[in-house]
Chains A and B, each alone.
Chain A
Amino acid sequence: MKQLIKLDINNQVYEVPVSPKDLLVDIIRKKVGLTGTKKGCGQGDCGACTVLIDGAPVLSCITLAIACQGKKISTIEGLADEQGNLHPVQQAFVDYGAVQCGFCTPGMILSAKALLDRIPRPGELEIKRAISGNICRCTGYKKIVEAIGAAAAKISTGGVE
């Protein structure tokens, strides 16, 4: 049986009918219509479906939607500010060539953002660890690691929140 639940996604509250076995990724993509969250494996292996729940990266393809009531969910669509300016991590991904096919990009950026919220000036190993659950098959990770480092430097020197 489906039941109506409330999900707080990117500071908007959505009322959605879900069954107890519905996965968060499917609700976000199909019911709410935020297709920036990607599904690459459906088994929690690739990280493309990463969203932030209360600020921590979570694999939405192995998370039940019903378990996310009362929590703050952030998807890639919620990252730019209200004027549409890109988050420094997003901007760095563009500027440093850290995007190729783009399918891992939303999850990768959210993992990176969670890291920088926790550790503002991470070392290279901390960056690699933070994205080790996000598979990228195009870039070889090098420019992604560089972009995250550059974003960290920019945030801490530029005072961007």
Chain B
Amino acid sequence: MERNYTQVGRSVPRVDGPAKVKGEAIYTDDMVLPRLAYGKIKRSPYAHALIKKIDCSKALAMPGVLAAITGDEAPIKWGIVPQAANEVALAVGKVRFWGEGVAAVAAIDEETAEAALDLIEVEYDPLPVLLDPFEAMAKAKDIRIHEDAPENILHAGDQLFGDPDKAFEDCTYILEKEFHTSYVNHAFLEPHTALASYEPQSGQLQLWSSTQVPHYLHRQLSNVLEMPMNKIRVTVPAVGGGFGGKGEASSADFCAALLSRKIGRPVRVTYERSEVFATNKGRHPCHMKLKIGLDKEGYIQAVDFDNTMDGGAYSGWGMVVMFYTASMIHLPYKVPNARARVRRVYTNKPTCGAMRGLGGVQPRYAMECMLDEMAEMMGISPYELKMKNAVESGYRSVSNLHVPHTEYKKCLQTAVEKSGYLEKHGKLPFGKGIGLAGGYYISGTAYTLYQSYKPHTTVLIRVDTEGGVTVHCAAADIGQGSNTVIAQMAAEALGVRFEDVHVVSGDTELGTFDLGSFASRVTYASGAAIKEAAKQINDKLFEVAAGMLSCRADQLEVKDGRFYSHYEPKKTIEWEKVVDVYTNAVGTLTGIGHFSPPRLKGIDLSRNVRVQGANIGHSPTFGFSCQIWEVDVDLETGKIRVDKVTEAGDCGQAVNPMSVDGQVDGSIMFAMGQALYEEMKLDGEGKMINPSLHDYKVPTAMELPQISTTIVDSYDPTAPFGVKESGEGPVQPTIPAITNAIYDAIGVRFTELPITPEKVLKALKEKKEQAKG
């Protein structure tokens, strides 16, 4: 495999770095258009209530108010998973969570819009509130959140591979435990914003939005507004973080568009921080039962997983996340027999959805903690147990997940060696501990969310004397740096410098096609499409260069901005000169590439082959990593201080190593927040009591431990440029690694998040009392 790269593998500063440090990057809320009006959404004070009446007349009579809308004006349901679409732009007839939008206004300025909200009169008929998924299932006969879900369950799935019951009978070591994860939000820094501009004469709508998924937003707008997609253009300005929270449309998008269409002038809706929390779409709290069986040598023989997910009020990404949790038990260890019983339950809470590493984080927490405990049962190191069971390249799980390439064992080895884990584990003084966990994540994704066979990504590369190289795509750079790595991959494929490549992205009209930034798919998918597009360009330029150099086209290579013959290196010519000749003779040169993930592994209706779980998780490749955390538990206060994190990751070929490090560092601190600090809290009526960054505690720089990361040498020969993911895999090992470290420190295995000082003190007290007998 060709690995002699010059542009891929370069640590380069991001292309948008200078604009961002100067404050010149333009985010949606920074934009102003002529006659801009300001929209605001009125939100429900009840978590579950019938709407008896909404009267906007007083608001409309207020000077400066331009329009008001209610849910009745746009009752078409939307949702990222079309089979389960059940959200509306604004509530129709009923509210199902605290903070649900019931009406919206547009006014000449924000102050007027805000004042107008107070004049909208809404009469509610409160209903009993369901805040716990088990209670929601038990009381479904009496209290139903959605008419079409008589059990208060969005969806449930059972998957059986092999015969786990029989396998457990022969196991020497069996452990069964329950785990409970918390209700957390992405807390990206830029609140959702949408700016819509509808032009009545042409019937054309343009929406600028802080979204991760311009295409899916485009589709949803088309459905809800009943406008053809070709009359709508979605543009993504700079986005202040997403982490999954901007991975579906928001009511800001719909309300801005509906209000703009109503008044024929641009309208912007920007959320307050409290609205970000109220509309949530964060990680699902999971109530999990996991049973693992090992044979006498320690090889995993069976896994039985049961998961009840608290989904909140609407479906969102819920069904996908649910099947991911089922799918995620099959890797990164060899599991010959497995069962998953999963259900996603409606409650009257702000809805849960997709959040960095979706569906993986919860089962990973349970599995890695239990394997730690089972190693202790066997009297061996958790490292030994995990190495023994770790998957290898070419592995195919019983659920048909195919791992073309993995360096997982190298990740485990590297982190263990660099941290001195084996010398420290079980040997540190009481209060100090070290913990290990592994993880993996999908890369490249498998299916569109709606039934479709179209390519997931299209890239068009334009080459001419005017623009040099311009890559047209529709990837959404939400801060992860996709515009930079796309430029690097295109430069590599074309043999030019990355600094000379322009990337046009994040626009459904100027760009080509892309499903969006989620499921760690962009680098892989864009890379594949870029390779195909670049080949067409190179083939044409090789012919021209061959003529200019008097050699054969198939002898030529292009690198570092020059064409040269690999037989006669003296025969060489600058890339620009060849482009100049081609452009003069023929005009602008274009190449177009598409990426469709391989489908053969999945459902094949022609042969009536259906794979359980609808192939969720069946991505073309997977990233792997290991983390080792060292903690210091303050026995007086219960406070956990993290001293050091040692990470080693297999992200395939790193396109921009500096950017990979940034993804890993960020993942570590992001998941540490969920492990130790973060939790949204509701009162008994379902009202959120901490919808602010004051009361919802995310890690600050003061919590930053020493972090040592290693990009393990890796190259997936089946992947474009050998790449995998690095943005979601590294969140997977964090929570169990911390939890295992805390066990090593104080001998308590925590099975509920977050692990707060209160819980630590309580556990220490119980431990003391038990010791007294």
Decide: A143 and B665 in contact? CB cutoff 8 A.
yes
Known A-B contacts A97-B662, A139-B662; A103 and B189 likewise in contact (beta carbons under 8 Å) = yes
Bound-state CA distance A21–B398 (Å) is: 64
Contacts of B239 in A (CB 8 A): 101
Task: Give 1 or 0 for each of A128-146: 1 = CB within 8 Å of chain B CB.
Answer: 1101111111111111110
Decide: B240 and A38 in contact? CB cutoff 8 A.
yes
Decide: B665 and A142 in contact? CB cutoff 8 A.
yes
Partner of A143, one of B20, B23, B187, B661: B661
Decide if B408 is an interface residue (CB 8 Å cutoff). Answer: no
Decide: B481 and A100 in contact? CB cutoff 8 A.
yes
Task: Give 1 or 0 for each of B16-34: 1 = CB within 8 Å of chain A CB.
Answer: 1111111111110110000
Closest residue of chain B to A77 (Cβ to Cβ) is B23
Partner of A138, one of B18, B658, B662, B693: B662
Closest residue of chain A to B709 (Cβ to Cβ) is A142
Bound-state CA distance A99–B667 (Å) is: 15
Bound-state CA distance A41–B698 (Å) is: 13
Contacts of B634 in A (CB 8 A): none
Bound-state CA distance A103–B276 (Å) is: 16
Decide if A67 is an interface residue (CB 8 Å cutoff). Answer: no
Known A-B contacts A35-B23, A77-B22, A128-B704; A101 and B478 likewise in contact (beta carbons under 8 Å) = yes
Task: Give 1 or 0 for each of B668-693: 1 = CB within 8 Å of chain A CB.
Answer: 11100000000000000000000011
| A→B interface (CB under 8 Å) | 29, 34-46, 48, 75-77, 79-80, 86, 90-91, 93-97, 99-106, 109, 127-129, 131-145
Contacts of B273 in A (CB 8 A): 40-43, 45-46
Known A-B contacts A38-B190, A101-B189; A128 and B701 likewise in contact (beta carbons under 8 Å) = yes
Contacts of A133 in B (CB 8 A): 700
Decide: B704 and A102 in contact? CB cutoff 8 A.
no
Contacts of B19 in A (CB 8 A): 102
| B→A interface (CB under 8 Å) | 11, 13-14, 16-27, 29-30, 186-191, 238-241, 243, 272-273, 478-481, 658-659, 661-662, 665-670, 692-694, 698-702, 704, 707
Partner of B698, one of A93, A94, A103, A135: A135
21 contacts between A and B (CB under 8 A): A35-B23, A35-B27, A36-B23, A40-B190, A41-B273, A42-B273, A44-B694, A76-B23, A97-B658, A99-B20, A100-B662, A101-B238, A103-B27, A105-B23, A106-B21, A131-B701, A139-B666, A140-B662, A140-B665, A140-B670, A145-B704
Decide: B707 and A142 in contact? CB cutoff 8 A.
yes
Contacts of A131 in B (CB 8 A): 700-701
Decide: A35 and B704 in contact? CB cutoff 8 A.
no
Decide: A140 and B666 in contact? CB cutoff 8 A.
yes
Contacts of B240 in A (CB 8 A): 38, 40, 101-103
Bound-state CA distance A101–B27 (Å) is: 10
Bound-state CA distance A129–B704 (Å) is: 11
Decide: B18 and A101 in contact? CB cutoff 8 A.
no
Decide: B21 and A86 in contact? CB cutoff 8 A.
yes
Given contacts A38-B189, A40-B191, 11 further A-B contacts (CB under 8 A): A40-B240, A43-B694, A76-B22, A77-B22, A95-B13, A100-B241, A101-B189, A101-B239, A105-B23, A140-B669, A140-B704
Bound-state CA distance A32–B384 (Å) is: 62
Decide: A80 and B22 in contact? CB cutoff 8 A.
yes
Decide: B667 and A140 in contact? CB cutoff 8 A.
yes
Bound-state CA distance A35–B187 (Å) is: 21
Closest residue of chain B to A80 (Cβ to Cβ) is B22
Most buried by B among A35, A101, A127: A101
| Minimum CB–CB distance for B191 against chain A, Å | 7
Bound-state CA distance A105–B27 (Å) is: 13
6 tightest CB-CB pairs across the interface, nearest first? A36-B23, A101-B479, A103-B240, A102-B20, A140-B669, A76-B23
| Minimum CB–CB distance for B51 against chain A, Å | 28
Bound-state CA distance A36–B662 (Å) is: 23
| Minimum CB–CB distance for A144 against chain B, Å | 7
Closest residue of chain B to A44 (Cβ to Cβ) is B694
Decide: A94 and B18 in contact? CB cutoff 8 A.
yes
| Minimum CB–CB distance for B63 against chain A, Å | 16
Bound-state CA distance A34–B30 (Å) is: 9
Closest residue of chain A to B22 (Cβ to Cβ) is A80
Decide: A102 and B692 in contact? CB cutoff 8 A.
no
Closest residue of chain A to B187 (Cβ to Cβ) is A137
Known A-B contacts A137-B670, A140-B667; A99 and B693 likewise in contact (beta carbons under 8 Å) = no
Most buried by B among A40, A106, A132: A40
Closest residue of chain B to A111 (Cβ to Cβ) is B701
Decide: A104 and B189 in contact? CB cutoff 8 A.
yes
Known A-B contacts A138-B666, A142-B665; A100 and B480 likewise in contact (beta carbons under 8 Å) = yes
Closest residue of chain B to A102 (Cβ to Cβ) is B20
| Minimum CB–CB distance for A34 against chain B, Å | 7
| Minimum CB–CB distance for B282 against chain A, Å | 13
Bound-state CA distance A138–B478 (Å) is: 10
Decide: B692 and A41 in contact? CB cutoff 8 A.
yes
Contacts of A97 in B (CB 8 A): 11, 13-14, 658-659, 661-662
Contacts of A103 in B (CB 8 A): 27, 188-190, 240-241, 479
Decide: A101 and B17 in contact? CB cutoff 8 A.
no
Known A-B contacts A48-B189, A104-B189, A137-B241; A37 and B23 likewise in contact (beta carbons under 8 Å) = yes
Contacts of B665 in A (CB 8 A): 139-143
Bound-state CA distance A91–B666 (Å) is: 21
Decide: B23 and A141 in contact? CB cutoff 8 A.
no
Bound-state CA distance A104–B27 (Å) is: 12
Bound-state CA distance A36–B11 (Å) is: 27
Most buried by A among B17, B19, B25: B17
Bound-state CA distance A48–B26 (Å) is: 15
Partner of A100, one of B23, B26, B479, B707: B479
Closest residue of chain B to A75 (Cβ to Cβ) is B23
Decide: B30 and A90 in contact? CB cutoff 8 A.
no
Closest residue of chain A to B188 (Cβ to Cβ) is A137
Known A-B contacts A37-B23, A46-B189, A109-B21; A138 and B692 likewise in contact (beta carbons under 8 Å) = no
Bound-state CA distance A43–B670 (Å) is: 22
Closest residue of chain B to A29 (Cβ to Cβ) is B30
| Minimum CB–CB distance for B696 against chain A, Å | 9
Bound-state CA distance A72–B19 (Å) is: 24
Bound-state CA distance A137–B191 (Å) is: 13
Contacts of B698 in A (CB 8 A): 135, 137
Contacts of A34 in B (CB 8 A): 23
Decide: B22 and A90 in contact? CB cutoff 8 A.
yes
Closest residue of chain B to A148 (Cβ to Cβ) is B701
Contacts of B694 in A (CB 8 A): 43-45
Decide: A135 and B700 in contact? CB cutoff 8 A.
yes
Bound-state CA distance A74–B704 (Å) is: 28
Decide: A94 and B707 in contact? CB cutoff 8 A.
no
Bound-state CA distance A79–B22 (Å) is: 8
Bound-state CA distance A105–B693 (Å) is: 17
| Minimum CB–CB distance for A5 against chain B, Å | 18
Contacts of B22 in A (CB 8 A): 36, 76-77, 79-80, 86, 90
Known A-B contacts A38-B189, A46-B693; A102 and B701 likewise in contact (beta carbons under 8 Å) = no
Decide: A143 and B662 in contact? CB cutoff 8 A.
yes
| Minimum CB–CB distance for A136 against chain B, Å | 7
Bound-state CA distance A86–B23 (Å) is: 12
Partner of B701, one of A40, A79, A95, A132: A132
